Amino acid sequence: RTMQEWKAYVDASDVVGRSRGRPVLMYCTGGVRCERASAYLQSRGVAGDLFQLSGGIHRYQERFGNDGFFRGRCYVFDPRMAVGAPGEASPSIVG
């Protein structure tokens, strides 16, 4: 997906309205898209309670593995398609 598609989704689905007054935690791979996404949400009025996972989800998984709070796998933009915590078996992709 592109950033423009994400912005359209945010605007069309009232993410901002539903997020007002509630804490928002974003987790990304730790790249520039996360920075752009949080800046966009801030420009739309989600400000005080907007948090990002420092270093992204990959660093979190490296640090905590399966002992952390995150469960699941993350989509990646390479032939692996998805990655889990270090040492976890490669996920099977359906679809």
**pLDDT band, very low/low/confident/very high, at 91 (cuts 50, 70, 90):** low
Structure tokens at 1: 């997906």
What whole-number distance in Å separates Cα of residue 44 and Cα of residue 12? 13
Would you tell me how many other CB atoms lie within 10 Å of the CB of residue 34? 17
What whole-number distance in Å separates Cα of residue 60 and Cα of residue 86? 10
Structure tokens at 85: 């915590």
Position 1 pLDDT exceeds 70: no
Q: Note if the pTM is more than 0.85.
A: no
Determine the length of the chain: 95
Q: Tens of pLDDT along 34-90?
A: 788 888 888 888 877 788 877 777 788 888 887 888 777 777 767 777 777 776 665
CA angle (80 as vertex; 61, 70 as ends), nearest 5: 25
Map residue 18 onto helix, strand or coil.
helix
Catalytic residues, which ones?
28
pLDDT confidence of residue 92: 56
Would you tell me how many other CB atoms lie within 10 Å of the CB of residue 91? 14
